[in-house]
Amino acid sequence: MASAISDDMFSLFIGTCESSPDAPFLIGEDGTVLTYDAARARAAQLAHAFCAQGVKPGDRVAVQVEKSQTALLTWLAALQAGAVYLPLNTGYTAGELRYFLGDAAPALVLCRPADEAAMAAICAELGVPALLTLDGEGTGGSLVDAAAGQPTTFAHAPADPAGLAAILYTSGTTGRSKGAMLSHANLASNALTLREYWRFTAQDRLLHALPIFHTHGLFVATNITIAAGAAMIFLPRFDADALVRLMPQASVLMGVPTFYTRLLGHPGFTRELAAGMRLFISGSAPLSAETHREFSALTGQAILERYGMTETNMNTSNPYVGERRPGSVGFALPGVSLRIADPETAAVLPQGDIGVIEVKGPNVFAGYWQMPDKTREEFRVDGFFITGDLGFIDPQGYVHIVGRAKDLIIAGGFNIYPAEVEAALDEIPGIAESAVIGVPHADLGEAVVAVVKATDAALDQAAVQAALADRLARFKQPRAVVFVDELPRNAMGKVQKALLRDAHRALFAS
């Protein structure tokens, strides 16, 4: 374990490299081990490759590649070089990427080899100076070539704790994404808090099957592992068969609710298999009370559910020791202040009343990239961040989330804002208007459903889905399209999405 408290993640990483250089950091599916010291050396070479492309401290490095060990090491390389890391969902289309790259103005973009031509055109259009590639295995591409032969050490000065470490884009209700600015102190403080709260040690082996363009897989899973000097069994993607096969070698699993519903349906996932695990953690989307109870009945262990956001890292957690309450996200983490307020008046509400969740602490982001007005709107004058999530605190102090004030849909752990999908739908010839909702889905938590009023009687679900295929990332595309004569509206003309959700909530019922 790193010997001293630090305000930045790379110094925590170096602490373990110095104290336990031969300790495993990344373990492949085939059992191959990358030690902390070997990871440090490879990250140094990648950092030199970035600098050779003109990356300077404070520059943004945008990354849209498949998950691999090398891809993960680009996070450590960016930190080492003093750059600001910008991970991008691998499902984003060219149109979406054009906005992100235009807004963030990176000095370097890292993409998949198959995307190089299209990305080069976008970079030329936007004036992005450098482009490198990395293949899906992390062993080929121009980045690997650029890093070969580079020095295996890099002179790294500890980062300014308040300095910018990463920008993660989170969708906006108007369709315009916002870049959440996360400082070195935001990330390091949360990793150290969770290391203690969840009792991580150097002996832990985390089954890592999450994507690494998302705060859950990149910052929660990876950063806690580093803070503890632990290791990750690093899988390229979620695969229930692989999880079952490798679970005897692991001690912790972090996943989205979909992981747990699929494990419960796997014949090889048994009470005996789970017995060797000390902790199952769920996040990124609400875990149903039914899944919680079913999992406990099968394994004798309760899933630990927690609550976080792109902008805040983790805010709350069910306890490590004590009742992990189904339907609850537990208590505010040490150092985090949480309150329930009236969305309109900002008055703090009595315990038990439903209102908007507001948080304050070292985990809370610095604001939205180049959006000072939006940043001011989202913070109270006393520094509390307005999450937009609706919830209450029960008599025992557990926090419960009951809804999302801005109609956010969370499918498979990914955030989807209806306004963005509706804008794409309304541009399809033959669609007069649309409303996008989330409905319960046993596997994904929620599924995207488009309710549309069509002027073309020949338009069907397949045609609508085909029209969106190249316009929206796959996870944003509707899984069902429902055609109606009129959308329900209230007296003010606003579409009543609550009625639509009620009408179609059984659409994916088994």
Span 348-397, pLDDT tens digits? 999 999 899 999 999 999 999 999 999 999 999 999 999 998 889 999 99
Distance of CA 55 to the CA centre of its chain: 25
Residue 7's pLDDT band (boundaries 50, 70, 90)? confident
Q: What is the pLDDT of residue 406?
A: 67
- Cβ proximity of 267 and 298 under 8 Å: no
Residue 490's pLDDT band (boundaries 50, 70, 90)? low
The owner of tokens 């606003």 is 494
pTM of the model: 0.86
Q: State the Cα angle at 100 between 96 and 104, rounded to 5°.
A: 170
Quote the CA–CA distance of 264 and 291 in Å, as a whole number: 9
Both tokens assigned to 37: 């010291």
Amino acid letter, residue 365: F
- Would the pLDDT of 447 be above 90? yes
- Cβ proximity of 378 and 384 under 8 Å: no
CB-CB neighbours of 482 under 10 Å: 16
The DSSP H or E segment spanning 332 is strand 331-332
- Would the pLDDT of 336 be above 80? yes
Q: Where are the alpha helices (DSSP H) in 127-282?
A: 142-147, 184-197, 215, 223-228, 240-246, 257-264, 271-274
3-state DSSP call for residue 153?
coil
Measured over the CA atoms of residue 437, residue 440, residue 443 and residue 444, the dihedral's sign is positive
- Would the pLDDT of 4 be above 80? no
Lowest mean pLDDT of 146-150, 186-190, 290-294, name the range.
290-294
Residue-wise pLDDT tens digits, 414-441: 878 787 888 889 889 999 889 999 999 9
Amino acid letter, residue 419: A
- Would the pLDDT of 324 be above 80? yes
Quote the CA–CA distance of 4 and 16 in Å, as a whole number: 10
Average pLDDT over residues 394-422: 85
| Beta-strand runs (E) in 354-442 | 355-360, 367-368, 385-393, 399-404, 409-411, 414-416, 431-441
Average pLDDT over residues 215-242: 97
DSSP state of 485: S
Beta bridge partners of 448: 438
Percent of residues, the chain, with pLDDT higher than 90:
81
- Cβ proximity of 466 and 437 under 8 Å: no
Quote the CA–CA distance of 497 and 505 in Å, as a whole number: 12
Quote the CA–CA distance of 502 and 510 in Å, as a whole number: 17
Mean pLDDT across the chain:
93
Spatial CA neighbour of 466 closest among 481, 452, 456, 451:
481
Residue 407's pLDDT band (boundaries 50, 70, 90)? confident
Burial 108-134 (b: 16+ CB within 10 A, else e): bbbbbeebbeebeebbeebebebbbbb
- Cβ proximity of 364 and 385 under 8 Å: yes
Q: What is the pLDDT of residue 497?
A: 87
Residue 36's pLDDT band (boundaries 50, 70, 90)? very high
Residue-wise pLDDT tens digits, 151-196: 999 998 789 999 999 999 986 444 578 999 999 999 999 999 999 9
What's the Cα-to-Cα distance from 288 to each of 220, 283, 292, rounded to whole Å? 21, 11, 6
Amino acid letter, residue 222: T
